[in-house]
Amino acid sequence: MSRSFVCKEAKGKLPRQDIVLTPKTENRLFFVDERYEQGFPPDENESFYIGKSIAGLKLNQSAQNPITYLYLPEKDKIHI
């Protein structure tokens, strides 16, 4: 189970203590995975995302809130 926290309200729970909060970042949310913190192994979904990055993926720039897919769901693929 993951819990969310507001940075300025839970500075002690931030993953790194050298993070400097600014007026632009102090209200951001971060998440803590309680199972991970307790030493449990990742589940299937968590394992899938370990080591993956969105840095090189194509982005749907036409959307107001762009969405990036690691793997497009099979039902949404266009077969030519």
Percentage of the chain exceeding pLDDT 70: 65
Q: How many residues does the chain have?
A: 80
In angstroms, rounded to a whole number, what is the distance separating the alpha carbons of residues 20 and 25? 9
What are the DSSP E strand ranges found in 1-80? Answer: 2-6, 29-33
- What is the Cα–Cα distance from 35 to 74, expressed in whole angstroms? 30
For the record, the structure tokens of 60 come out as 């749907």
Say yes or no to pLDDT of 22 above 90: yes
Model-wide pTM > 0.85: no
What mean pLDDT do residues 53-66 have?
Answer: 61
Contact 35, 2 (CB under 8 A): no
